[in-house]
Amino acid sequence: MCFMKIERGGLAVYTKKYSPRYRMRFSMLNLQYNGGMLSSPAPLAGWMDKWMTLLRSITE
């Protein structure tokens, strides 16, 4: 798993270059799963293991 800050537009470039199996980002927006990426509110970062388990069950 890779943790890094991605600049604007950089996430699309990163996805094309490395084709990660799962993508997850933290922001202050609501929890959502769109276009193969799980967006989680930053205060829920401690729940990352649970989100990854859920994401695996959805995509496999």
Percent of the chain at pLDDT above 90? 0
| Alpha carbon distance 13, 39 (integer Å) | 18
Show the domain range for 32: 20-59
Please report the pLDDT score of residue 3 as a whole number: 56
- Predicted TM-score (pTM) of this structure: 0.59
Q: Is 9 part of any domain?
A: no
Identify the pLDDT of residue 15: 85
The whole-angstrom separation of Cα 30 and Cα 40 is 7
Per the structure, the count of domains in the chain is: 1
The answer to the question of residue 12 being in a domain is no
Q: How far apart are CA 26 and CA 36, in angstroms?
A: 14
| pLDDT beneath 50: ranges in the chain | none
**24 is a domain residue:** yes
Whether residue 2 lies inside any domain: the answer is no
